[in-house]
Structure 1
Amino acid sequence: MESRTWWDGVRPYTERQPIAAFLLGMSSGFPYAMIGATLTTRLAQDGIDKKTVTAFSLAFLVYNLKFLWAWIVDGVRLPILSRLGQRVSWLIVAGVLVIAAVINLALVDARADIQATAIAAIFVGLAGATFDIVIDAYRIEILEPRQLGVGSGMSQYGWRIGSAGAGALALVVAERAGWSSAYLACAIFALPAMITGLWLREPQRYRAPVERRGMGEAIRAVWGPFVQFFARPGAIVVLVFILVHKVGDTLANLTLRLLFDDLGFTGDEIAFYDVFVGFWAYLIGIFIGGILYARLGLKRSVLLALVLMAVSNLSFAALAAAGHSNLGMASAIGFENIASGYGGVVVIAYFSALCDLRFTAAQFALISAAASVVGRVATGTTAGALVERFGYVDFYLLTTVLALPGVALFWWMSRSGLVDRSIGSAGTAGEGDAREGAAPLT
């Protein structure tokens, strides 16, 4: 087996496909800011009551439902633009939809018509989710199997910068020219993905589904991607892993701000440690993830990530037991964000490798929705009650225990060969093979 050096882990960051993944991530991240913290600030400044403001978070639910229409991106050819290719034409159309949705949200007046504002926010969510579908498919298909780890990392770098950059730009422009101008300015963040599609053109790894001529073929276009996925050996086990692997981590993260408030940390301390330190620790974790994915291979890097994410919950149990401690907070936040950044890279690389290149959009939309739905439902319905019943220390110990089934299941999947058998053509077609193990360091 060919040996690998440390430079082999860093070099992919300089290749054009991972750089393109960074630009795609920027465009993917900015719609979140437009209907997230930025919209919350805008509505609050317009004098909208807190109950109504928080209800706008429902606009994010469409992201969990995107698998319902992702098959359209795989199978529907767009007139005229289709000459650019299936993925590039949809990148252009979805980008235009996002720009139109953001402009629409820019022009509504929440004080005059809160219902129109809500509809505009949902429109941004729908357009953003569709943009996400296309971006994820395009990213997976431009990356070779050996680049999946680094490409996932660069995409997350872009997502963070796109989300934070759009949010910051909106605040700066709004202070000087109002919220309408702020949203209009932020629409430019849709351009990096559209330009990337025109730059790299249609992915060489794209595989067109079988041409559909009749109603039966059209109907099969909807459920065909899911049938193909579940026809694989052990597909149900893989789905169970996808559903449960982040339950403990999601439960823990939802309650962190409650913990910090109850421990008496000031707003300045939370801003510095949770936001500033956490942001840079997360970026460091992403960089480490890309390197270790190349060094360790898929199975070992994902197993290590699951262990680290489980252990990171223990750091918050220790902080809760210790009480107000700036060093403890910095250590817990730093470790948790490095683990999450690293884990996000390698786990997303695995999920990307699961896709069949004929159905990349539909299958990754299903996988990404399944990966978050259990954790979000569990956190929204039980987290606060569990903290009140057990206290913070025992709660974070519980979240650690809840993370262990995902660790054990993936270990068994690796040992039994199920991980290798579950990999789709996205993890095998092209240079490299996601199923290969790590080579020794030289």
Structure 2
Amino acid sequence: MSKDTTIASAPAPQKPTGQKPKGWRLFKLALQTRKSATMLGFGFSSGLPYALLIGTLNAWLGEVKIDLATIGVLSWIGLSYSFKFLWSPLVDRLALPGLERLGRRKSWIALCQGVLVLSFLGLAATDPARAIGTFALFAFLGALASATQDVAIDAWRIDVADEQTSVELLSSIYQFGYRIASIVGGALALVMAGRMSWPLVYVLMAGLIALIAVVTLRAPDTPRAEQGALHATLGQLGELAPRARGLALLVVGVSWAWAIGTIVAFMVRMLQPLAPGEKHPSVAAFTRETGPLIVLATVAVPLLVSAAINALKARRVAVLAAPDPAHGPLRTALNHLYVALVAPLAELVGRLRWGVLIVIGMILTYTLCYNMWASFAFPFYLEFLHYSKDEVAFASKLFGIFMTIAGISLGGFLFVRLGRMPTILIGAVLPILGNFVYADLAEGAPLIDRVGHAVGLHALFGAFGFDDRMVRLLLAISFENISTGIAGAAFVAYMSGIVSRSHTAVQYALLSSLTFLIGSLGRGIAGEAFDLYGYATVFRYAAAAGGLAVVFVLLEWLRVGRGAAASHAT
């Protein structure tokens, strides 16, 4: 039997038509072929590290009394997921010595899973209260491996899809595995931590990744494809000349490298041991003074370079006068980087012109209101509000997941009934209100109690055995998760509609990375602010920051409306 054939004894799933399979039917389909069963394992392998490194890890840090400013800085490891498109060309092109025989994608997935096992074991062997720098290094290594694994898994899913096991079915199975991993890495890990040590929890989670690595070794794979189409596209008449492409790539690449290097250098300074009498640098000062420069380097510089590229091509300056299909190893690598870093934004600038400033502003601010505090949820619930690990596991991860699904479903419904921009506006406003709900929760929940009793929610939850204290948490999480579910569904649909079909995957990856940029940077200053001013005050400031998103949504609504009116007029 070849690597690409399915298990002979299992019936092949039909290509999905109409409604997507869900629940138990989806699980049964996932086990019917080697490809779909592997996809279930890969979805689990992708979701587990994210849950453990970006969420659950902060519960451990809060328990050992790591200050919130440090937790905020450590949360910047999440930028690995935002910036993964930067090294995706490397994952796509480079054959790993000694591992390539496993397969084009499997080699990278297996490597990343091995690094994840080592990083989890490293976390388990390190006491964060005594060696936070070493602990952060293992966490960063794990986040980098997890983000890189995601790149390889996404490519694998597209590569192996066929008529019997379509990419739509594989994507659904991936999400199913990912959600299971979110529960295991979130709720189950918290419940386990209430009964055993945190290091043992991470050792057991490392064991789960090791089991999935066995699945990886038996997965099908595809041969390495030729890169001729890429070179043919960039070598067409009128395209930018190789030297001009190289210069544009150099400017953008140096800007991104400086931004990432600056963030990493500050993290190292913040997390390294202090000499007697020394103090850690201020996260607020870094964000205030250097944060705008990071945004300029990662957003403004690429936009200016993109505008310059479009101007050169419009004036037919520094462009190819004849087709140029020539390529070698260096040209191939540079072409991949150019397509990842420069071409998607250049296309967006050329298509939207000045409107791109509104679109980028909206992308940068839309998730700011709720992304800033996400890393502090577990310390807030466990250390500040003193809920037990079991209570938080149920409310945040089990009950919360159903509320998020409800929010996503409601967002899709509103998108169909109200339209794109009204739903996006609702998604921008509701998380602002959610911050006020959490501010009230931090101050004893007087308003939550009043509303909950008035509309009968306390009585409803009480019928299931929940006391008032637990009802407050459930109501706050319900509002937050439904709000962010609506916002997420609306924004994903918006992003999917704004990208070009000629740059769909890469452009979406680039724009989605910008979605988390300011929110991720803001986590550092939020952590310090929580320590200085308290949760309630910072929640209200975050709500005010969310007003920026509302402004940009209204401007985008006006831009889209004018564009539609102009197209009807012509």
1:244 corresponds to which of 345, 365, 375: 365
CA gap 1:407/1:83 in 2 versus in 1, 3 angstroms: farther
Deviation of residue 325 (structure 1)? 3.4
Alpha-carbon distance between aligned partners in 2 of 1:345 and 1:156, rounded to the nearest angstrom:
17
TM-score, normalised to structure 1, is 0.66
Q: Aligned to 1:267, what secondary structure does the other structure show?
A: coil
1:401 corresponds to which of 540, 547, 558: 547
Alpha-carbon distance between aligned partners in 2 of 1:401 and 1:295, rounded to the nearest angstrom:
21
Residues 20-47 of structure 1: CA deviation (Å, up to 9, x unaligned): 76644432232245545655566788x7
| 1:171 is aligned to 2:183 | no
Unmatched runs of 5 consecutive residues or more in structure 2: 1-16, 232-326, 453-471, 565-570
2:516 corresponds to which of 368, 372, 376: 372
Alpha-carbon distance between aligned partners in 2 of 1:271 and 1:181, rounded to the nearest angstrom:
15
Deviation of residue 229 (structure 1)? 0.8
Which residue does the alignment assign to 2:432?
Answer: 313
Which residue does the alignment assign to 2:271?
Answer: none
CA gap 1:170/1:110 in 2 versus in 1, 3 angstroms: same
Which residue does the alignment assign to 1:210?
Answer: 230
What amino acid sits opposite 2:488 in the alignment?
G
1:134 corresponds to which of 139, 149, 152: 152
What amino acid sits opposite 1:367 in the alignment?
L
1:26 corresponds to which of 27, 39, 44: 44
1:179-194 equivalent positions in 2, closer than 5 A? 179=199, 182-183=202-203, 185-189=205-209, 191-192=211-212
| More displaced stretch, 86-95 vs 112-121 | 112-121
Alpha-carbon distance between aligned partners in 2 of 1:153 and 1:38, rounded to the nearest angstrom:
20
Alpha-carbon distance between aligned partners in 1 of 2:423 and 2:500, rounded to the nearest angstrom:
22
1:102 corresponds to which of 111, 117, 120: 120
Which residue does the alignment assign to 1:344?
Answer: 488
CA gap 1:338/1:374 in 2 versus in 1, 3 angstroms: same
What amino acid sits opposite 2:517 in the alignment?
V
1:31-110 equivalent positions in 2, closer than 5 A? 31-35=49-53, 39=57, 50=67, 54=71, 56-78=74-96, 82=100, 86-107=104-125
CA gap 1:206/1:332 in 2 versus in 1, 3 angstroms: farther
1:174/1:181 contact within 8 Å kept: yes
Which residue does the alignment assign to 1:421?
Answer: none
1:88/1:202 contact within 8 Å kept: no
Which residue does the alignment assign to 2:401?
Answer: 282
Which residue does the alignment assign to 1:335?
Answer: 479
Residues 285-331 of structure 1: CA deviation (Å, up to 9, x unaligned): 32663696599579946862551352242255367577353455444
1:173/1:179 contact within 8 Å kept: no
CA gap 1:137/1:343 in 2 versus in 1, 3 angstroms: farther
| 1:11 is aligned to 2:21 | yes
Give the total of aligned pairs: 406
Deviation of residue 188 (structure 1)? 1.7
Alpha-carbon distance between aligned partners in 2 of 1:356 and 1:163, rounded to the nearest angstrom:
35
CA gap 1:291/1:191 in 2 versus in 1, 3 angstroms: farther
1:234 corresponds to which of 352, 356, 376: 352
Q: CA RMSD in A?
A: 5.4
CA gap 1:92/1:407 in 2 versus in 1, 3 angstroms: same
Alpha-carbon distance between aligned partners in 2 of 1:278 and 1:147, rounded to the nearest angstrom:
25
Query: Percent same amino acid among aligned pairs?
Result: 22
Q: Aligned to 1:325, what secondary structure does the other structure show?
A: helix
Alpha-carbon distance between aligned partners in 1 of 2:227 and 2:186, rounded to the nearest angstrom:
34
Deviation of residue 335 (structure 1)? 2.3
Residues 382-407 of structure 1: CA deviation (Å, up to 9, x unaligned): 7949988x957964763453331353
Deviation of residue 256 (structure 1)? 7.6
Deviation of residue 225 (structure 1)? 1.9
| 1:123 is aligned to 2:141 | yes
What amino acid sits opposite 2:405 in the alignment?
I
